[in-house]
């Protein structure tokens, strides 16, 4: 069964992909905006899913990112992107909340090994 997405979800996912490709290329919003011929504020709204860019603007952004329009708009591919991006942080938070006693024990052991933090 093919997935269907609300307009807002599509915009958020395109924004996430824009962030993904922009950060992979180590570009700031300002740099991407200049390359695509739009304002930095507009790139910010696209990345937050707050605006619906027309096809011409999406094409300019994709070109600036040196990717195809289909790569930028392939929202089904990135269902797990945010989870993957923050996996370590999420696992750490879950571990801390599920096993606070174990975490404190490890912290105490590290503290003792390092002579009270005075290595």
Mean pLDDT of 62-66: 95
Q: What is the structure's pLDDT at 118?
A: 52
Q: How far apart are the first and last CA of the chain?
A: 59
- Mean of pLDDT over the chain: 80
Asked whether 33 and 39 are in contact (CB, 8 A), the reply is: yes
What is the residue whose two structure tokens read 């070109």? 63
Q: What is the structure's pLDDT at 88?
A: 64
Backbone angles phi, psi at 57, to 5 degrees: -70, -40
pLDDT band at 119, cuts 50/70/90?
very low
Of the two residues 69 and 113, the one the predictor is more confident about is 69
Q: What is the structure's pLDDT at 19?
A: 94
Of the two residues 77 and 114, the one the predictor is more confident about is 114
Of the two residues 103 and 34, the one the predictor is more confident about is 34
What are the pLDDT digits (tens) for 81-92?
555 555 566 566
Domain 7-79: give its CATH code. Answer: 1.10.260.40
Secondary structure (DSSP) of 6-56: -HHHHHHHHHHHHHHHHHHTT--HHHHHHHHTS-HHHHHHHHTT-S---HH
- For the chain, the domains span 7-79, 86-113
Q: What is the structure's pLDDT at 44?
A: 95
Q: What is the structure's pLDDT at 43?
A: 97
């Amino acid at each position: 069964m093919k997935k269907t997405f609300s307009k807002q979800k599509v915009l958020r996912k395109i924004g996430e992909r824009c962030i993904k490709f922009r950060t992979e290329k180590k570009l700031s919003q300002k740099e991407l905006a200049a390359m695509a011929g739009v304002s930095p504020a507009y790139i910010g709204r696209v990345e937050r899913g707050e605006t619906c860019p027309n096809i011409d603007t999406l094409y300019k952004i994709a070109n600036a990112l040196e990717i195809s329009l289909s790569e930028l708009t392939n929202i089904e591919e990135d269902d797990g992107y945010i989870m993957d991006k923050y996996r370590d942080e999420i696992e750490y938070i879950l571990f801390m909340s599920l096993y606070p006693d174990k975490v404190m024990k490890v912290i105490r052991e590290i503290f003792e090994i390092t002579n009270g933090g005075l290595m």
